[in-house]
Amino acid sequence: MRRRNAVDGLVKAVDGRDVTQLILLSDNRSQFTSDEFMDSVKAQGTGQEFIQMSTPEQHCK
């Protein structure tokens, strides 16, 4: 997934929703750690936490 796709997907997913209590779990891949994506997360009022790559069990927090 490319950075722009990640940003566009986030914007579409939260459009019109109150996401101020949402915490987005992301692995440390470049599309989720890019300034563009992290700025978009902040602009949406969403929190972001990072998990280790290749550890799907951490997606179930």
pLDDT for residue 8: 93
Contact 37, 12 (CB under 8 A): no
Residue 47 amino acid letter: G
Which conformational region is residue 47 in: left (phi greater than 0), alpha (psi within -120 to 50 degrees), or beta?
beta
Look at the block and give the residue holding tokens 């563009």. 36
pTM of the model: 0.76
Containing structural domain, residue 18: 3-60
Contact 41, 24 (CB under 8 A): yes
Q: Mind listing the pLDDT tens digit for each residue in 1-40?
A: 688 899 999 999 999 999 989 898 888 888 899 999 999 9
pLDDT for residue 15: 92
Number of domains in the chain: 1
**17: domain CATH number?**
3.30.420.10
Q: How many CA atoms lie within 13 A of 6 on its CB side?
A: 19
